[in-house]
Structure 1
Amino acid sequence: MKSIISTQPTPLETLTPDAYRHLEHATSLKGLLKPFKGKGELEYLAQVARETEAQLCRLMEAVALRAGQPPFSLLDIRLVLQNTSAGSTFLRWRTRDFARMGVAVWERQASNKALPQTVREALHRFECERIALNLQMSVMHSLYRQASTCAIKMASAERLLRQSTPAAEISR
């Protein structure tokens, strides 16, 4: 393996704060921790969560693309995007032949003493980025689902109130 993989340090930029700069809504929960006055605010929160998911997906794509470059493309491991049936995307480790998937695939490569230390350290950074991005995607997708569900429930409650309130009282 040493003949294939260079022992020279691998230039690898981790995800920097600049990579996250466009995710301004994701860094603050102040918009979440307030009284919601109606379904419109919840729909807006769901929209922001969905937009943030798309931005996180672009970051995931960038990480997967970097992990697909040499010297990592020479390894028996791939970092791939996996779309779920729930509608979100996660980064997963897979073998080159797609026979196995999961952290065990990464552990096998990262613990391979035949690989240069720089490559193992880079694999470690990829794994840390994968873990963090998957967490962030999971939180955003859950926030989207919850906000969407709550907006529907709030709209239903508003409809029920309008239906049960006499017209004369509504016009006041």
Structure 2
Amino acid sequence: MMNGLIPDDMYREFAKKTPLNAAMKALFSELQQVSDYEFQYEQLHQVRQWLIEQQSEMITTLKTSELNILPITLIRDKASSSGGTFLRWRYLTNTGTGNIMWRKIVADKNQPLSIRQKLVAAEKDRVLINMQMSILNFMLRQLKECAQKIEHLDIQ
């Protein structure tokens, strides 16, 4: 396992395998027609789908790491109406949030330092991935809303 959840080459692969860079460049250029907004939406949707796939790999990696002995696990929460998914800590024994237990484990001096450090690294990556997902969800929502506004502005 890497220090956290994110593989060392993930962002390099992200740039290679998705239209992320092109989408960001185009997003900050002139968009005039509904089709421009729809194209941007499709590109960013591909980016988000790739990130969702990476979340699954992160969860699998965590479950096979030395952190699998802990009473918490990482899940993908599909509760978002945006279509994006977020990584959440959960207790192994029930569906309650694992955040309280996460804090107890990190504060527990009886836990090996290496376990606590890896858990903190995983949490930092979880926060980052969730922020990136949230930003993508926001951009997708904005593109959809703007396309609808532009559609109503066109003169027949």
TM superposition score category, shorter chain reference: 0.7 to 0.9
Separation in 1 of the partners of 2:87 and 2:14?
19
The code of the aligned residue for 2:2 comes to L
Query: Unpaired segments of 5 or more residues in structure 2?
Result: none
1:155 aligns with 2:151: yes
Identity %: 23
2:142 is aligned to 146
Residue 143 of structure 1, CA deviation? 0.6
The code of the aligned residue for 1:23 comes to F
Say whether the 8 Å CA contact 2:2–2:8 is kept in structure 1: no
Say whether the 8 Å CA contact 1:76–1:96 is kept in structure 2: yes
Structure having the larger proportion of residues in helix: 2
Separation in 2 of the partners of 1:71 and 1:22?
26
- Aligned equivalent of 2:71, options 73, 76, 81: 76
The code of the aligned residue for 1:47 comes to E
* 3-state SS, counterpart of residue 34 of structure 1: coil
Give the alignment's TM-score, normalised by structure 1.
0.78
* 3-state SS, counterpart of residue 129 of structure 2: helix
Q: Cα distance 1:43–1:63, how it changes in 2: closer, same or farther (>3 A)? A: same
1:18 is aligned to 9
Query: Unpaired segments of 5 or more residues in structure 1?
Result: 1-10, 163-172
Higher Rg: 1
Q: Cα distance 1:34–1:58, how it changes in 2: closer, same or farther (>3 A)? A: same
- Give per-residue Cα distances to partners, 1:130-154, cap 9 Å, x unaligned: 0010000000011111101111221
2:52 is aligned to 57
Residue 12 of structure 1, CA deviation? 2.9
